[in-house]
Structure 1
């Protein structure tokens, strides 16, 4: 069983498309189809149902997928262990990060790391923090630089460490009626519509938990996972929201909400059962250096 065929299988399973899988792996669609056909021939079973343009895993495919993740992760781990013996900080380092952290926290870290370790090729993916957890578990990436889960998930597989505390604040536009009502209570705030990241995001869970603890309803009128988009919609008066304090500017008014102090932890995660590459360890060292420097 060739690893190239397994990579193609995983790509098709995740993309739900042979053509998109080809784009991800920089291969033509016929090349992807050939690898899948070869794998199906070796296993003597069909791995995908192809109905029109829809591609879905068969029962056999669903059984193979976690095994394929494990096989590819073990091979990648062996390669890292062997490369680490050289003592070099080189090779490719795959990182997933959120758009907010990538824009507001990582630039100085990346600048220092790339200057100190020019032989490392950074492969950076911008995804939701929740997705990064799954990518680390499946071995698709080595490090996640993300919003950490309020309650640690998959403790036996994931190591997490805080690098930054990220204070959150309640915000509205300066023309919003609430801007003149501060300070106010959570009950008063709950009467107005809010814009938030999706219900599956860690930030949503943090705010939802606060309202639930006070037996109040969180009225979410719109949802988007991009904090910059939320900031724009809040700034034109559509609703209130909770944003990192670092995003405050002249377009926003901070609300003083009695009995409500929120923050989230930003940091890194990696798989506890896999060897960190020298490049990954060097990147973690750079993160901690910035943490110590504030």
Structure 2
């Protein structure tokens, strides 16, 4: 069975469109149609129903899809394993990172990596940490540099790279900016802007309020830290931001009994053979963390999801 035909089948199944699959694979639409027709002929069954412009998998197509994914993943893993027999660091690294980490943490690492390994192609997707986690879990990408989930479990492996302290912040002219002795229950009386409800950061902050039985007054939510900072800076609400983002646009609130911190790190799938380039990238991440004075990193850790 031709793996190119299986790749075309998976692209059409994922996009629901022959034209979009062709764009994704850098082929013409007739070439995609020819590959699907060839596969249907080989298997002696129809894989897609075509009703007008709508395309859907047939029962046979639904049965083939997980098996096709398994075949392609197995071939890719074999290719990486054989390539790793050589010590040469080359090829392609598919990775994801959050917008915040991509803007504030990764640039020096990426700069050094591309200079050190010019034969490696970086395929980077900017995604929410939770989406990136799922992509690693399902084998869509090799690794992700994200906000680590409070709990991670096999088959995901995680390595802490950076500690990321979080501070409560308001606009300098916000009423709370003048309060010298502040508590979480007093803070909860004012409108807040939080990361989205499914984010790891939201979970960390919400658990701190749940610990004392208080519900914060969340008036808005967004997954982009830069947007949260903007809304705080114009006085719309208070929020929690990474300490690395703080400047004169916002004012830190002192809550002596409260300490919030998230862990930023890299994750990968234990059942997937990391490429030499993937190993090299993780080593560079760890080296970068040690160079900026963080405590020694824990060994590769298997945590809960």
Query: What TM-score, normalized to structure 1?
Result: 0.90
Matches within 5 A, 1:232-247: 232-247=230-245
Q: Deviations over 1:187-246 (max 9, x none)?
A: 111122222221111111111111222222233222221111111121111111111000
Write the mapping of 1:85-104 to structure 2, written as runs, cut at 5 A: 85-104=85-104
Match of 1:166, SS?
Answer: strand
Q: How does 1:1-294 map to 2 (within 5 A)?
A: 1-43=1-43, 47-48=47-48, 55=55, 57=57, 60-152=60-152, 155-294=153-292
Tell me which moved more, 112-121 or 179-188: 179-188
SS at match of 1:140: coil
- Quote the Cα distance in structure 1 between the aligned partners of 2:239 and 2:16: 34
- Deviation at residue 46 of structure 1 after TM alignment: 5.1
| SS of equivalent residue, structure 1 residue 281 | helix
Report the 3-state secondary structure (helix = DSSP H, G, I; strand = E; otherwise coil) of the residue aligned with 2:150. coil
Count the aligned residue pairs: 292
Looking at structure 2, the residues matched to 51 and 241 of structure 1 have their Cα atoms a distance apart, in angstroms, of: 49
- Residues 242-291 of structure 1, C-alpha deviation per residue, up to 9 Å, x if partnerless? 11000001101111224321111111011111211111111111111111
Say if 1:197 and 1:224, in contact at 8 Å, map to a contact too. yes
Supply the RMSD in Å over aligned alpha carbons: 2.2
Give CA-to-partner distance per residue, 1:56-87, whole Å, 9 cap, x none: 55555444443333222211110011111222
Deviation at 1:131, TM superposition (A): 1.4
Q: How far does residue 33 in structure 1 lie from its aligned partner after superposition?
A: 4.0
Moved more, 102-111 or 187-196: 187-196
Q: Match of 1:175, SS?
A: coil
Separation in structure 1 between the aligned mates of residue 96 and residue 166 of structure 2, nearest angstrom = 23
Kindly report structure 1 stretches of 4+ aligned residues shifted beyond 6 Å.
none
In 1, the alpha carbon distance for the partners of 2:237 and 2:50 equals 44
Indicate how the Cα distance of structure 1 residues 172 and 7 shifts in structure 2: closer, same or farther if over 3 A, else same: farther
CA 1:46–1:253 in 2, change beyond 3 Å: closer, same or farther? farther
CA drift at 1:7: 2.6
2:151 and 2:178 map into 1 onto residues whose CA distance is 35
How many angstroms apart in 2 are the aligned matches of 1:173 and 1:288?
35
Matches of 1:45 and 1:224, distance apart in 2 = 46
1:55 shift after superposition = 5.0
Whether the aligned pair in 2 keeps the contact of 1:70 and 1:138 (CA below 8 Å) is no
* Structure ID, larger Rg: 2
Distance 1:46 1:257 in 2: 64
Structure 1 position 141, deviation (Å): 1.2
Change (3 A) 1:267 1:28: same
Cα distance in 1 for residues equivalent to 2:55 and 2:219: 34
